[in-house]
Structure 1
Amino acid sequence: MKDTQPEARRQLADVVVERIERLIVDGVLKQGQTLPSERRLTEKLGVSRTALREGLKILRARGLIETSQGKGSFVAKLSAEPAQAPMMHLLGSQPRTLYDLLEVREMMEAESARLAALRGTPADYILITRRYEEMVAANSRDTDASTHARLDHAFHLAISEASHNPVLVHTLATLNDLMLSSVFASVNNLYHREAQKRVIDRQHARLYNAVTGKLPEQARRAASQHIKSVRENFAEIEQEEQRLVRSTLRLEGWT
């Protein structure tokens, strides 16, 4: 009589793999995040500890999770850093690419805002509200530009995650470092200018209200106008700096 137990264990291990891969794709389990304990996972997935360990073994072989002695298993770094690093360096080292990045942000974030308004769940809107309130609360404190940038970025990231489009979310995540650099440039150059800061605050409020109010077209326009406005402000700042350089050179007798 054929022993069916190994086949059954493999099938259960495949269930473990499929469920955990889906959680990673959906952004429920994030890069670097520690997985729940074996006991919790067996309860949540409804499998035996043997099947769970087989599934985790497959995930480790695929490079999706790593296990550290005494710390448990956690989601591995998912991006292929060696292949991406040269391009990331080139893009990050050229100031002009900031405008290219903002064009990409406008397209992608406008669509993610529209989808977030269409597909967002009550739980998504709670998370978006938390990120928005943290960002607003920072305005009343003596907050440095780096913290402002991270709070701003977290707000936009929460909206993208509410789009429930894993490809869109992970594409934005791939650009995380460059995205954060552009947001940092935004707050560093614009937040200390009162007029521009008020505009940014109004734009964020408009975006927040449209997404959580489930108004997809308004959300799309609000996100697009926000990024477009930032890009226009950068262009004006750059022109101001160029005028300052030219006038200084004339003053010093270089022309």
Structure 2
Amino acid sequence: MASDIFSKVEHGRTADEVVQQVESLILDGVLRVGDRLPGERELARRFDVSRPILREALKTLEQRGLLTSRHGGGTFIADVIGEIFSQPVMDLIARHRRATYDYLEYRHEVEGITAAFAAERATKADKDLLQGIVESMREAHAQEDFDREAALDVEFHSAIGEAAHNIILLHTLRSCYRLLSNGVFFNRALIYQYSGSRDRLLEQHIAIFEAIAASNPDMAKRAAENHMEFVARTLKQAERANDWVRVANLRLQQRGQKGGGKKQKTE
């Protein structure tokens, strides 16, 4: 963890000031779920506060559900993303396929707005981070590492959410991506295995990045929307193709049972 994300407390050196600083780092997406905080001695040094004041601040943050302690293992940022829906609603969504396309329709609009904001607001550091992710995507693509590509896909869109510098968009998108990662809406392997889709997806991600790097909001919005339209269209095609395979196999099985696997005589 970078040593400069924490600032010395200048006024009064109270627990409240430490709490406010950590809360801001979580809200802005600097500290993310699962990040481990430095040890108590080191953290007190960075904030320039006494260890009793730091302990009071950490206790407050833990009571607010922002930190979690593991016995003998340190202090971590708690799961502040959570789930958008309750478990019964998520199970209901998973059983009804039309929810998937409503989800993609929602993301079509939100991703477009987010990319446009990112093109307007991204700093050099934001663009450097995105460029690094894109380079990792190229490597995973060349190595045909599907799992790595899927993880980087989420990381890429999350980084765009950060570059948009809108905390509501940031945390809303993170919740959406968690549902996607958990496979609530669809299995991304369907899209990755569809002929030519991996190449197209990489090209689309690069197009979004280049538009943001060029600070072109209109181009970034169009690139993000085109990407989501492709995902929705390809998912439908892949699901239809899988259904064709399923039905064809059932026909073969049924006719094989009737004819003992031999060709039927025609009248």
Shorter-chain TM-score range:
0.7 to 0.9
Counterpart residue number, 1:130:
132
Aligned equivalents of 2:49, 2:236: Cα separation in 1: 57
Residues 247, 130 of structure 1: alpha-carbon distance in 2 compared, 3 angstrom cutoff: same
Q: Is contact 2:69–2:75 with CA below 8 Å preserved after alignment?
A: yes
- Say whether 1:67 aligns with 2:72: no
C-alpha deviation, 1:94, in angstroms: 3.1
**What is the TM-score normalised by the length of structure 2?**
0.79
**What is the TM-score normalised by the length of structure 1?**
0.83
Higher mean alpha-carbon deviation, 69-78 vs 126-135, is at 69-78
Aligned equivalents of 1:81, 1:163: Cα separation in 2: 22
Aligned equivalents of 1:184, 1:17: Cα separation in 2: 39
Partner amino acid, structure 2, of 1:199? R
Counterpart residue number, 1:120:
122
Q: How does 1:191-230 map to 2 (within 5 A)?
A: 191-230=192-231
Residues 61, 246 of structure 1: alpha-carbon distance in 2 compared, 3 angstrom cutoff: closer
Counterpart residue number, 1:234:
235
Aligned equivalents of 1:70, 1:245: Cα separation in 2: 52
C-alpha deviation, 1:139, in angstroms: 1.6
Percent identity over paired residues: 36
Q: Is contact 1:16–1:45 with CA below 8 Å preserved after alignment?
A: yes
Residues 73, 121 of structure 1: alpha-carbon distance in 2 compared, 3 angstrom cutoff: same
- Say whether 1:147 aligns with 2:152: no
Question: Tell me, what secondary structure is at the counterpart of 2:149?
Answer: helix
Deviations 1:136-179 (A, max 9, x none): 11121132x33321121111111111111111111111223322
Q: How does 1:96-115 map to 2 (within 5 A)?
A: 96-115=98-117
Q: Is contact 1:149–1:184 with CA below 8 Å preserved after alignment?
A: no
Aligned equivalents of 1:54, 1:197: Cα separation in 2: 50
Deviations 1:80-134 (A, max 9, x none): 5697222223223433322111112111211111111111111111211111111
Q: Is contact 1:128–1:155 with CA below 8 Å preserved after alignment?
A: yes
Identify which of 32, 35, 44 aligns with 2:34.
Answer: 32
Residues 244, 34 of structure 1: alpha-carbon distance in 2 compared, 3 angstrom cutoff: closer
Q: Is contact 2:100–2:186 with CA below 8 Å preserved after alignment?
A: no
Counterpart residue number, 1:161:
162
Counterpart residue number, 2:261:
none
Deviations 1:164-211 (A, max 9, x none): 11111111112233223389734x233334433332222112111011
Q: Is contact 1:135–1:148 with CA below 8 Å preserved after alignment?
A: yes
Partner amino acid, structure 2, of 1:185? N
Superposed CA RMSD? 2.8
Aligned equivalents of 1:13, 1:117: Cα separation in 2: 37
Aligned equivalents of 2:195, 2:237: Cα separation in 1: 15
Question: Tell me, what secondary structure is at the counterpart of 1:127?
Answer: helix
Higher mean alpha-carbon deviation, 87-96 vs 59-68, is at 87-96
Higher mean alpha-carbon deviation, 83-92 vs 100-109, is at 83-92
Residues 245, 77 of structure 1: alpha-carbon distance in 2 compared, 3 angstrom cutoff: closer
Counterpart residue number, 2:263:
none
Q: Is contact 2:93–2:184 with CA below 8 Å preserved after alignment?
A: no
Aligned equivalents of 1:97, 1:223: Cα separation in 2: 21
Aligned equivalents of 1:57, 1:242: Cα separation in 2: 54
| Aligned residue pair count | 244
